[in-house]
Amino acid sequence: MANNEPILKVKDLAVKFNEEKILDGLNFEINEGEVLAVIGPNGAGKTTLFKALLGMQPHDGEIKWRKDLKIGYVPQRMEIETDIPLTVLEFLWLRGSENFSEEKAREAIKSVLLKEEILDSGLGEISVGQRQRILIAWALLGKPQVLLFDEPTADIDISGQESIYQLLHHLQDKYNLTVILISHDLNVVYKYAERVLCLNRKLICFGSPQEILNTEQIQKLYGGGHAFYHHLEKHQY
Amino acid sequence: MEGILPQLLAGIFISAAASLLGVFAILKRMSLVGDALSHVALPGIALALFLKINPFLGALAFLFVSAFGIWILEYRTKLSVDTIVGVFFTASLAAGALFIPELDILEALFGDIEKLTSTDILVSVSLSLALILFLLSVHKKLALHMVSQDMASSIGINSKQLEFIFLMLFSLGVALGIKFIGALLMGALIIIPAAAAKNISRSLRGFMALSVAFGILSAISGVYLASIYNLPPGPIFILSGTAIFILSFISRGIFRR
């Protein structure tokens, strides 16, 4: 089953909005089963990169996924009203996956370590952290080989963000998932990613966290070392 | 009672279709756009009266064109759709009021179900039924699109296309209600039953079923009370719907704390 061909090859990727270059000249590859973290300051084009990878964003250059690949997407946030008339079960059902059944929904819920009872809750009533897990379950229902995970920005306080990464790690092992994540937390990147892509409209650096996450590179990316130290202090305990 | 049966039939079907549309309009939070859109029917009615063709066709044509305009604007300009809709659609209400002959203005604004011919009723019922069936066939995609456009796109749902389809269905729904309830109140026919249902539903299925039930209930009471007291059914429909909304709002306060 092992396939040495990269699961994704990106060549000269560029995205423009009204002549403004949002992404320019991106080249990188990912192998099966790897965790790639995309980091960069606000407005660096991280979410645009995701949308391009998902085929939701017109672009120049080449994005070549391995054939017949299924990709799951977990968006950064989902703005919904707390009283939206939609249960968690219905939300999973809306995905329209083949042979959807309550049994499958229950399995998906268990795989993200939530209790079955949550299926009957309203999607707007559950906590942000729970909803994030539901979004992962939603993506898993499509039996993806690749998961694109957009981390909520640091300004949203999500308790148990750490455990989300443990969960992702666990799912990655279980399903041999390739994971591409947008992260704002360099500690997470250090712990969970095998490769790091620093992005600021252009590719600033690409490599292992040990190579990349040194002060020089981070300064180049964020225009100062401050952000990195700030994050480290905040999450050390 | 026998005399109002055909009207009742038309009212029930139109209202069921409208209240099902309302479910998705509310999920999309576009109740105001929907309300304003219904006003666009007026210049269409004026033109139809002038050309001596069926006002339904005039209304439908104008609605389709405006819905298409909204759709383009949403993707092409940076202006807020709300602003544009607010300005131009109120203008079309004014234009309609100016150009519709005084004799017909009340009917255009508030509808007159008694004037429905048997052909009208046949057309209304069958188009409403088609609208309902079509909505049901795409309701999963629509609901997902309304809840999260990103997630819908990520599984290959074409958002632009779906939005276009929805706006066209919405226009058809509005046009169907013109004779029954008039251009002024049609937005309410779509929104009120769904708004009431949302107050007390926790699931999408419940939301859809209750909205349709409330719509039908309001239509029945509208047509029935109108025939007894010899009043126009449109306003009574809206008032019954509002009464249901208030009741649902109160019971939500009691049961959800």
Indicate if A211 and A136 belong to the same structural domain. no
* Residue A60 Cα to chain centre, angstroms: 22
Question: pLDDT tens for residues B124-133?
Answer: 999 999 999 9
Q: Where are the alpha helices (DSSP H) in A141-183?
A: 161-175
Looking up residue A174, the CATH number of its domain turns out to be: 3.40.50.300
Task: Evaluate whether residue A193 is within a structural domain.
Answer: yes
- Minimal Cα distance from A56: which residue of B? B153
- What integer best gives the mean pLDDT of chain B? 86
Tokens describing residue A58: 């017109």
Q: Among A72, A78, A86, whose Cβ lies nearest the Cβ of B204?
A: A86
Whether residue A123 sits in one domain with residue A172:
no
* Domain end position, chosen among A104, A121, A144: A144
How distant is the Cα of B209 from the closest Cα of chain A, in angstroms?
Answer: 12
Predicted local confidence at residue B246, as pLDDT: 95
Highest-confidence segment of A52-66, A118-132, B12-26, B228-242? B12-26
Does any domain span residue A76? no
Map tokens 């029935």 to a residue. Answer: B224
Q: Give the torsion sign (CA, B29, B31, B33, B37).
A: positive
Q: Is residue A74 part of a domain?
A: no
Task: Tell whether A46 and A130 lie within a shared domain.
Answer: no
Nearest to B111 by CA among B94, B124, B92: B124
Could you tell me if A33 and A122 lie in one domain? no
User: Does A165 share its domain with A135?
Assistant: no
Both A160 and A214 in a single domain? yes
Dist. CA A206–CA A28, nearest whole Å: 8
Q: Residues of A with CB below 8 A from B78's CB?
A: none
The β-bridge relationship of strands A195-200 and A35-39 is parallel
Closest CA of chain A from B202, distance in Å: 4
Is residue A229 a part of any domain in this protein?
A: yes
What number of C-beta contacts closer than 8 Å exist between A and B? 59
Q: What DSSP character marks residue A145?
A: S
CB contact under 8 A, B204 and A78: no
Phi, psi of B58 (to 5 degrees): -60, -45
Q: Do A57 and A152 reside in the same domain of the chain? A: yes
Is residue A192 less than 8 Å (CB to CB) from chain B? no
d(CA A127, CA A123): 9
One domain, residues A107 and A90: yes
Domain count, chain A: 2
Query: What tokens does A184 get?
Result: 């704002």
What pLDDT, in 10s, does the model give residues B87-99?
Answer: 777 788 888 878 8
Q: Which SS3 state, helix, strand or coil, does residue A35 take?
A: strand
The pLDDT of residue A158 is 54
Q: In angstroms, rounded to a whole number, what is the distance separating the alpha carbons of residues A187 and A232?
A: 7
Residue B84 reports pLDDT greater than 70? yes
Q: Which of the pair, B11 or B112, is modelled with greater confidence?
A: B11
| Cα–Cα distance measured from residue A206 to residue A209, given in angstroms and rounded to the nearest whole number | 9
Verify whether the Cβ–Cβ distance A54 to B206 is below 8 Å: no
Amino acid at A230: H
Is residue A75 a part of any domain in this protein? no
Task: Kindly state whether residue A77 falls inside one of the protein's structural domains.
Answer: no
Six-digit token string for B109: 């604004």
**Is residue A218 packed enough to be buried (19+ CB in 10 Å), middle (13-18) or exposed (0-12)?**
buried
Confidence of residue A225 (pLDDT cuts 50, 70, 90): very low
The CA dihedral of B129, B133, B139, B142, to the nearest 10 degrees, is -70
Q: Which residue among B153, B197, B202 places its CB closest to the CB of A56?
A: B153
What pLDDT, on a 0 to 100 scale, did the predictor assign at position A183? 85
Please report the pLDDT score of residue A229 as a whole number.
46
pLDDT value at position A234?
A: 43
Domains of chain B with bracketed CATH: 2-251 (1.10.3470.10)
> Is the separation of the CB atoms in B144 and A138 below 8 Å?
no
d(CA B76, nearest CA chain A) in Å: 12
Helix (H) or strand (E) holding A147: strand A146-150
pLDDT in the model for residue A191:
82
Residue where a domain stops, chosen among A107, A124, A144 = A144
Radius of gyration of chain B (CA): 18
What is the spatial distance between Cα B234 and Cα B145, in angstroms, rounded to a whole number?
A: 32
Query: Quick one: average pLDDT of A154-171?
Result: 70
Give the end of a domain, one of A123, A144, A165.
Answer: A144
Taking each helix axis as running N to C, give the angle between helix B118-147 and helix B159-181, from 0 to 180 degrees, rounded to the nearest 10: 150
Question: Is residue A197 scored above 70 in pLDDT?
Answer: yes
In DSSP terms, A205 is beta-bridged to A198
Q: A95 and B155: CB-CB below 8 Å? A: yes
Q: Are residues A152 and A222 in the same domain?
A: yes
CB count within 10 Å of CB A161 equals 17
Co-location of A153 and A36 in the same domain: yes
Q: Which of B186, B188, B190, B180 is nearest to B233 (CA)?
A: B180
Comparing CA positions, the residue from A124, A83, A93, A135 lying closest to residue B26 is A83
Dihedral sign, Cα of residue A36, residue A39, residue A45, residue A47 = positive
- Residue B14, CA atoms < 13 Å, CB-side half-sphere: 37
The SS3 call for residue B155 is: coil
Q: Which domain holds residue A117?
A: 82-144
CA distance A24 to chain B (A): 23
Q: Tell me which chain B residues have a C-beta less than 8 angstroms from the C-beta of A75.
A: 148, 150-151, 154
One domain, residues A116 and A214? no
Average pLDDT over residues A155-168: 67
Q: Kindly report, residue by residue over A29-86, the tens digit of the pLDDT.
A: 999 989 999 988 888 888 899 999 988 888 999 999 998 889 999 988 777 888 899 9
Closest chain A residue to the Cα of B23, Cα to Cα: A85
pLDDT over 90 at A167, yes or no: no
Mean pLDDT of chain A, nearest integer: 83
Residue A93 near chain B (CB below 8 Å): yes
A94 located within any domain: yes
Is the CB of residue B107 less than 8 Å from the CB of residue B181? no
Measured distance CA(A191)–CA(A169) in Å, rounded? 10
Helix (H, G, I), strand (E, B) or coil at A26: strand
- DSSP labels for A207-231? E-HHHH-SHHHHHHHHSSSHHHHHH
In a domain, A154, yes or no: yes
Contacts of B257 (CB under 8 A, 6+ apart): none
**Mutation for testing the A interface, residue in B26, B151, B160 having most A CBs under 10 Å:** B151
* Residues on B contacting A at a C-beta cutoff of 8 Å: 27, 140-141, 143-144, 147-148, 150-151, 153-155, 197-198, 201-207
A85 vs B148, B153, B207: nearest CB? B207
Residue A232 has pLDDT above 50, yes or no: no
Kindly tell me the burial class for residue B79, based on how many C-beta atoms sit within 10 Å of its own C-beta (0-12, 13-18, 19 or more).
exposed
CA distance B75 to chain A (A): 13
**A56 and A120 both lie in a single domain:** no
Q: Could you report the predicted ipTM of this complex, rounded to two decimals? A: 0.84
Nearest of A1, A2, A13 to residue A201 by alpha carbon:
A13
